[in-house]
Structure 1
Amino acid sequence: MLNRDLEERKHADNYMYVLFSMVLGVLDSAVDDKVIRGNPCRAKKVRHPIARRPKVVVWPNNRRIALLCQLEKVLTLAMRFVLHSVQVSVPAKAKSWPFHRTISTARGGAH
């Protein structure tokens, strides 16, 4: 019953596997404590969910570099917005920061 409900809601196989394992463990403990005689999850008719291990696809270098470039643009814009909105004192060591140029530009300094 639970398995069918989860399938209808299109939950991931791994999620169903984790839930089933937790219920199985609780019921096994109940059997050990002699609260129940047998674990209904261990019945022959019960279908155990199978954990899937999706294949991990590593991004090629050009895709990673493109993402990093876009993130740098977004973070630079965010830094400018924050620095224009809030008074920030820039420490002397800011020249070693990756966004030093953004900080200088936002405060009206030279590039």
Structure 2
Amino acid sequence: MEINEINKINMHNHKSEGSKIYSGRDLGIEVRDLIDLDSKDKDDNKYNMIFPDDTVSINSSYFGGLFETSIIKLGREKFLEKYNFIYADGKELKDALQRNIDEGIDDALKEF
């Protein structure tokens, strides 16, 4: 599969208003539908998931609702090749936030 381009998915508006934490499985599922991840999982593009610089946490429930189907479908390696997680300023995620993502991937694969 050849990757054609990198697209940005802005996550700024996909959390509770005023929150620095992404939480809630139902909200994650709602966002998954809103940004049409089912179609994105099937295309040949890579995506930068852009989070606000002040994001403190992505709870496993939210992450699972948003990405569990993608992780199961793609597997860890292809999922991480396709979806890149960064802050809005382009910097890599802080260790704590990266751990949230790693744990979310592990949880999705355990469930499968």
TM normalised by structure 1 equals 0.25
Which has more radius of gyration?
A: 1
Q: Could you say which structure has the greater relative contact order, defined with CA pairs below 8 angstroms and 6 or more residues apart?
A: 2
TM normalised by structure 2 equals 0.25
